[in-house]
Structures are given as structure tokens and as C-alpha cells.
Amino acid sequence: MSIVTLTLNPAIDQTIFINNFQLETVNRAYDLKSHAGGKGVNVASLLAANGHKVVATGFLGDQNTELFDKLFAEKQIDDQFIRIPGQPRVGIKISDQQTQRTTEINLPGLTPTNEQLDAIRATIKRLAADDNQWFILAGNVPPGIPSTIYGQLIEIIRAAGKQVVLDTSGEALRYGLAASPTIAKPNLAELEQFVGYPLTSEQAAAKAGRELLSHGIKLVVISMGEHGALFLDNAQSLVAIPPSVAVQSTVGAGDAMVSGLVAAQTQGLDLAASARLATAFAAAKITQLGSNLPAAEIVEQIRADVVIRPCNAQLDVLQRGANQLKGVPL
């Protein structure tokens, strides 16, 4: 049984390393590294490294694909991407090791044709008919694709009796949530945009998350930046706080959390154990470059140090701009 990841807008992630990065002046980089990326690609890589069989699909430009081809071969990921004319988009990450902050500049992607959109729907339908239990729909929607695409694909997958994780934003998130994925993972800012008002406490965030549960979603995970992540199902509301770690790159921390969530689901873990594993994946990921985790014993040590507590009944204000956990976006 394989896990399927969908990436409609993959990218070549170029991480530029600059100490004490400054705006409006000349900055001198000391290193540059390039990786095959995009949220679903990152999730596929992390799950494959964790021992899962993975199928990766979506749209991929047919030029300059060497980094993707190498990744899929090394991680033994089943490449079922639909090639479309052009080059994959580039995502520029400026990593400042002194401040442990990352600035991201994401370029737009390629626009598939209506025929290619039909092809991705057919691909998902075929994969859902096979022995694939979990589907992860992750990342933004490329220009020219209707925001309803994730909702349409979730309906196809759920009709086949399979499970879906949704990790996106904006209108694509709105339409996707309406189709009731199994798991939704918005961050606090994305959830605020969805509900249309500020969420200034854990209780407010939990209330908004429970509204999603009332529409058929089984598990909601809300990244709250430096305040950790909120995990909600129909029985519990828990907050997971990771330990401090040495940050190499914050790129892909949220994708690692999704990977840990799905790994936990395949193991049948309860909510607290799922929260612990997902948070450990996210914290472990930021100690590494590219879409990799450190050695299993290091991940296990981080998992042991994750703090799990009930959702706070007090109205503790969540700091504005707290979409980073010690500088780490989840």
C-alpha cells in the first residue's frame, strides 16, 4: 500500500545562505544549495525516507527536471507526474544562520491546459481505485487553475473510500474544506483568513477548528507559530510544543509536520501520540537542509522532548505575526 502525494506547483528550491541579511543593501552569500521542492514533493521525500512507499503526482515542467529525477530515484518514489511544457518554478529561500530566520520568495508556476487538468483528475481517480489509502494534497494552486480543483479531487478520493490530507491556503483551502478532507492542516493566519476574523487565543482557534470538525473533517491541526500547534479531533483538544533545536533551514517544516501526521495515522496512533510524532518531524526537519530528516534516533529523542498539554481554557493572547515557531514556519 502506497501513500499518494499531489503537487500541482512543484519548485526548484534555491537556498541562499547569508549572515546578517539586510534589506536595501548589498548582501554577500557564502553558499547556495538547490533542491527539488514543492509541498507535496517535500512530503513524499520525507515519507519515503521514513520507510513508506510513496507515489508522487501532479504537474511538472518537462525542462530542467534533473533534481526531481534524482530525488525520485534515490528515494524510490514512484514518479507519476504529468509533464507539461516549460521549466519548474523557482523558490528562493534566503537563510540567515545568525538570526535563524528564512525569507522566502516564491515565483508563479506553469499553467496547465484544460486537457492536462482532466488528466490529473483521471490520474487521481485511477490511484484512488488502487491500493492507496492516504492522499496528501499540498501546496498552492498554479496560476490559471480554478480554486475548486482540490475540492473536486477530494470528492473523487472520498468517493473511492480513501483518506485525504489537505494543506493549502486561500480560496483553494476554502473549496477544499467544503469537500470534507479527513485531515486539514491550516496555520493560524490561514484559518483566520478562512473564518474572517482574528483568532487571539487558543480557545478561539480551537472553536474555529471545531467548526471544521462539525462539517465532517476528522482531525484539524492548526500551526500557531511560537505557541506550538493545536490538534483537534471530536474528543480532544491538545497543544504540542517542540523542544529547541539547532536550526539549519526552516524550509519544509510544515511539510514535515504533515509527513509525521500521516506516518502516525498509518501506525494507528492516538491524538497525543500523533501530535508528538508530527511535531517531532517538524522540529527534526529544521536541523537539516533539503527534504530530509536526521537519523531515526535523533528524531526519537526530539519526540520524547515534545510537550503535550490540553488546550488552555484561559484566554491567553496569541501574538500577532506568530506564524513562526522560534523563527520556524509550521
pLDDT by residue (tens digit) across 42-54?
Answer: 999 999 999 999 9
Residue 173 confidence (pLDDT) above 90: yes
Residue with cell 501506525: 267
Cα–Cα distances in angstroms (integers) from residue 86 to residues 83, 112, 142, 286, in the given order: 9, 10, 13, 31
Q: What string of DSSP letters covers 97-152?
A: TTTTEEEEEE-------HHHHHHHHHHHHHHHHSSEEEEEEESPPPTTS-TTHHHH
First to last CA, the chain: 28
Q: What pLDDT sits at residue 192?
A: 95
pLDDT band at 318 (very low <50, low <70, confident <90, very high): low
Q: What pLDDT sits at residue 320?
A: 43
Catalytic residue among 13, 167, 233, 255: 255
Average of per-residue pLDDT values in the chain = 91
The CATH architecture to which 2-19+30-310 belongs is: 3-Layer(aba) Sandwich (3.40)
Ramachandran area for residue 251 (φ above 0: left; ψ -120 to 50: alpha; else beta):
beta
Residue 132 confidence (pLDDT) above 60: yes
Q: What pLDDT sits at residue 326?
A: 41
Active site residue 78: no
Residue 99 confidence (pLDDT) above 80: yes
Q: Where are the beta strands (DSSP E) in the chain?
A: 2-7, 11-17, 31-37, 54-61, 78-84, 89-96, 101-106, 132-138, 163-167, 183-184, 219-223, 229-232, 237-241, 307-310
Q: What pLDDT sits at residue 317?
A: 53
Q: What is the pLDDT of residues 201-224, one digit of tens each?
A: 999 999 999 999 998 999 999 998
Cα–Cα distances in angstroms (integers) from residue 190 to residues 44, 114, 205, 242, in the given order: 23, 28, 11, 21
In total, the chain counts a number of residues equal to 330
Sequence spans of domains, the chain: 2-19+30-310
Q: Which of 219, 216, 306 has its CA nearest to residue 271?
A: 219
Residue 321 confidence (pLDDT) above 80: no
